[in-house]
Each structure stands twice: as C-alpha cells, then as structure tokens.
C-alpha cells in the first residue's frame, strides 16, 4: 500500500501516467491512419514520436526515485481512448471524422496536461527539481500539441459543416 502523503500520490500518479502514455503509444498510429487531412496525420505522427520521449522521461523519473518503471491501470485514459475509437468507427468515411479525431485527441491532451501539471507542482513541493523539470518539459509539449490541434480543428470543422 502506498504512503498516503504527497510522495505516495506522486508515485501513484507517475505509474498512472506511465500506463496512459503507453496506451497512447498504441492509439496514435490508429488515429494517424484514420485521419484524412495530411496535416492531421502528420500531427499524430509527430505526437507519437514525442510520446516515445515522454515515456523515456517518465522512466528517468522512476530511476531518480529508485523505482522500477511500472504502470497502474488508468481507467480515465482507457475511457478517453475508447471514446476516440467509437468516434473513429461511427464517423469513418464522413466529413466530420477529422473533427471528431481532433476532439478525441484533445481530450487526451487535456488529461495529460492536468496530470503533468500536478506532477510538476508536486515534484517541486517535494524538492525533486530534476523530476519537476522533466514533467515541465512534457507539459510544455502537451500544451503545444493541444494548440496545434486547436488550429487544425478550424479547417476540419469547416469541412464537416460544408459537406
């Protein structure tokens, strides 16, 4: 049973995010393949490469904490990814597919932004500067991806309305 203090919460959330990032690694290739707009395909492929780096950063934090990298099942990310799969299946071939994929991807990004923001704050509070910096790097990338997706959504939303 984990300690019921901030350090225990950080470790639990670290394991949660590790599970989530590995699940996202499996989902992104499907999303890239399903997307119709080349810019969206590229965004998903780029984020796949970034996510690989996020996993490496998380593994570095595990090492800093002298822990074995392991995940705990994250029901939140499972649900968000399942919704994304459902949108992809239901709107496949339709003009709103890319708009739906972007919305699903942004749900993932917002989850990650919340988690990495908390992890960074907790690591800072616990005096884990190197871990806080690693969480901050990933947080910055997640926020940038969210902004990119917002920009791409403008075109996909117009295409979905026009069809």
pLDDT along the chain (163 residues), means of 10: 88 98 97 96 97 98 98 97 95 95 98 98 98 98 98 93 79
pTM comes to: 0.95
- Give residue 3's pLDDT: 84
For residue 79, the model assigns a pLDDT of 97
C-beta separation of 124 from 132 below 8 A:
yes
- Beta strands per DSSP E along 73-119: none
DSSP-derived secondary structure letter, 4: S
Contact 41, 108 (CB under 8 A): no
pLDDT at 162 (0 to 100)? 80
Among all chains, which residue has been given the structure tokens 């499907």? 30
pLDDT at 1: 57
């Amino acid at each position: 049973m984990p300690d019921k203090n901030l350090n225990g919460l950080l470790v639990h959330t670290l394991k949660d995010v590790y599970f989530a990032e590995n699940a996202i690694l499996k989902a992104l290739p499907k999303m890239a393949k399903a997307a119709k707009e080349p810019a969206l395909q590229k965004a998903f492929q780029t984020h796949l490469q970034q996510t690989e780096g996020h996993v490496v950063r998380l593994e570095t934090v595990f090492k800093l904490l002298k822990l074995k990298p392991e995940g705990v099942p994250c029901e939140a990310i499972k649900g968000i990814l399942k919704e994304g799969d459902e949108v992809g299946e239901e709107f496949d071939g339709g003009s709103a597919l890319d708009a739906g994929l972007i919305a699903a991807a942004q749900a993932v990004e917002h989850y990650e932004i919340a988690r990495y923001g908390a992890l960074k704050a907790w690591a800072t509070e616990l005096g884990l500067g190197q871990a806080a910096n690693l969480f901050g790097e990933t947080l910055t990338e997640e926020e940038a991806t969210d902004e990119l997706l917002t920009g791409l959504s403008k075109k996909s939303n117009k295409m979905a309305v026009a069809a």
